[in-house]
Each structure stands twice: as C-alpha cells, then as structure tokens.
Amino acid sequence: MYHLECKCRLMKKDRFVMGEGRARILRLIAVTGSISEAAKGMNMSYRHAWGEVKAMEKAVGEPLVRTRRGGEDRGGTELTEPGRELLDVYHRLREAHEDVEYRRAGLTVDGIVVDRGRILLIRRKNAPFQDEHALPGGFVEYGESVEDAVVREVEEETGLKTEIDFLVGVYSEPGRDPRGHVVSVVFSLHTVGGELKSGSDAHDVHYFELSAIPSLAFDHGKIIKDYLRLSGNQSVSDLRSLQ
C-alpha cells in the first residue's frame, strides 16, 4: 500500500540545518551519551555521524555536542545547551507545521430552493443537529466544483433536479459548525425536474411557508435572512423568528 510522506527541513537563512535524520542523531546522542552508539542506531559509520554533527554546528555557528573525558562515568558525549535548544526548536516547529498542514477548513455547499412562497428544508438524519431542520447541502467532493456540488447534494437529499439562479453568499465563521471550521457556499436554485423525496442524509423533506419556518441547524436562519433580503421576498421586520 502506498502512503505519502512530507519531509520537514529546519533552515537558518538559506542554510540547511536539520531534517529528521540529523534530529535522530542528536536524540540518540542525548539518550546513549555516545556518538558511536548513535551511529550504530542510525546504521551508519562513526565518521558519517560525526560529519553530520559538524555540518549542523557549521550551519548554526555553535557547538552542539560536548565530549567528556574519562572520570567515574567513563566519559562520553552529551548535547550542549545550544544542541538541546536546537532539537527542541526542531520538534516544536515540526509539530506546528503538521498542525497547519493537516488542519484545514472543510468546504460545503447549501441550496435554497423557493417555490410559490415556500422554502425547501430537510430534517437531518445524522449528527450534528440530528432531527433538526436545515437547508439541503453537504460537503464538496475532491475535484468537484461548488456549482456541481450543490446541484448534486440537493438532488441526493430531496430528489429534485435543480439549476442555479445566483450566489447567496459564503459563510465562513469558524464556529458555525460543531464539527470544526467548515465554510459553506450557498446558492439559490430553481427546480427543473425530479420527484420530491428524502434521501441520503435526510429523514424527510418538505416545503415550508416563509412565514412559518421552523428553528434551523447551523447558521441557516441567518443564511435564509440574507437570501430573503437579496431576493426581496420579505421585509426584514418579518424575519425576527429566524436566528
């Protein structure tokens, strides 16, 4: 099975200081107290390991290891304070990089379908907001445009084929979705076919009068308010029930 590995490189200006291999050499020196043992742990020669240490020292301009001579502990090698600090900096920056690299905002779409003064809503089958009403929508698939995604999601959840009228807005408040930072692109659509029936993530699907919209999941009340303002369907004073 294939997997992808992305390597981190610690740089000082334009000079390479440390990657995972060099970091492991320093870690083994710290644990074993010996460059020879560190070299064995890396399956490399003493000369190669020592050369890597000297290359790091040249890049940072400070001694990273210190050799103890004889005595009760029979000598050995240990990291200097700059050596310990360098290893700590590498680990902290790598962790921060991995957090940034793999924590990304999710991308979803939601569709507003209004017919004869009624708006189409689903009752959610799954958490979060299980059994609560919401606009039909869902996550954008890799390689899919948001325009194609909203048409697909509306059909999967309501059975209706639709076409896009206009973009209502982009909703990106980080706390709008309890699953994490999820951005939604919202479109107004009109029906061109299909048969109204619940599917995929919907318990059921119904049209609701604009004057009698139930409480809604996520920030969908705000989204519908914005839509009604844009479309001129209803005055702002009539929208107090939407949160």
- Which is nearest to 215 in space by CA: 144, 140, 123? 123
Residues 111 and 227 in one domain: yes
**Host domain of residue 60:** 10-102
Could you tell me if residue 5 is inside a domain?
A: no
Residue 72: per-residue pLDDT: 46
The CA distance from 181 to 235, in Å, is: 31
- Average of per-residue pLDDT values in the chain: 89
Same domain, 225 and 147: yes
pLDDT of residue 96: 77
Do 75 and 141 share a domain, yes or no?
Answer: no
What total number of domains does the chain contain?
2
pLDDT tens track for 158-196: 999 999 999 999 999 999 998 889 999 999 999 999 999
- 189, 142 contact by CB (below 8 A): no
| 42/97 same-domain check | yes
β strands within 116-197, DSSP E: 118-124, 133-134, 137-139, 160-171, 182-194
pLDDT tens digits, 75-84: 589 999 999 9
In terms of domains, do 70 and 91 share one?
A: yes
Q: Is residue 1 part of a domain?
A: no
Q: Could you count the other beta carbons within 10 Å of the beta carbon of residue 126? A: 11
Q: Which of 90-99, 130-139, 198-207 has maximum average pLDDT? A: 130-139
Please report the pLDDT score of residue 6 as a whole number. 66
- pLDDT tens for 89-122 read 998 888 877 665 556 789 999 999 999 999 999 9
pLDDT at residue 179, rounded to an integer = 84
- Do residues 43 and 158 both lie within one domain? no
Q: Kindly calculate the radius of gyration of the chain based on its CA atoms and give it in whole angstroms.
A: 30
CA 177 to chain centre: 13
Q: What is the CATH number of the domain that holds 123?
A: 3.90.79.10
Q: Which is more confidently placed, 212 or 241?
A: 212
Q: What is the pLDDT of residue 71?
A: 47
Q: What's the CATH number where 62 sits? A: 1.10.10.10
pLDDT for the residue numbered 237: 44
Q: From 153, 23, 12, 176, select the one nearest 87 (Cα to Cα).
A: 23
**pLDDT per position as a tens digit, 41-56:** 999 999 999 999 999 9
